Structure 1
């Protein structure tokens, strides 16, 4: 086991909602191995890319909103990974 294998998320990053994005809606769970969290964030960003392209090409705003929320989840996940790696 390498040193990085023991690093986990800390559960401090939130996905915010609301007009001014100040209402926390979801947070990242603590204790997720950082490597797994990074892999999941990468997977989510692939979906964001696909949904964005499909939403733009097919003029489907609901796909763009889905990509917006998935990108917020990926961002929160990576932010929590960063905090976990700094511990």
Structure 2
């Protein structure tokens, strides 16, 4: 069991099923989860602003950021040997 990112999870899909971005392998899982938590806090704030201030662009940015956070979290779990899909 590794405590690093596996580097197999992609995000940012466009046409088809090939990801535009991928989590890099070998990063410390604790650090990766801290980064995911910070990104999720930003996404939460963005969704609040999008809904209260009518900022549709912030809503789309938050949607994409959540996709990135999920990829990091999934990749950490794969790296730890507990695949979560």
TM bracket (short chain): 0.7 to 0.9
Counterpart Cα distance in 2 of 1:50 and 1:16 = 21
Query: Residue 23 of structure 1: CA displacement?
Result: 3.0
Q: Give the aligned partner of residue 36 of structure 2.
A: 41
Counterpart Cα distance in 2 of 1:35 and 1:82 = 11
Q: Give the aligned partner of residue 24 of structure 1.
A: 19
Query: Which of 44, 55, 58 is equivalent to 2:50?
Result: 55
TM-score between the two structures when normalised by the length of structure 1 = 0.86
Q: Give the aligned partner of residue 9 of structure 2.
A: 13
Counterpart Cα distance in 1 of 2:58 and 2:74 = 24
Counterpart Cα distance in 2 of 1:16 and 1:70 = 9
**Contact between 2:12 and 2:64, CA under 8 Å: does it hold in 1?**
no
Query: Residue 16 of structure 1: CA displacement?
Result: 3.5
TM-score between the two structures when normalised by the length of structure 2 = 0.88
Which aligned segments of 4 or more residues in structure 1 are displaced greater than 6 angstroms? Answer: none
- Structure 1 portions without partners, runs of 5+: none
Rg bigger for which structure? 1
SS in 1 for 2:6: coil
Task: Give the CA RMSD over aligned residues.
Answer: 1.8
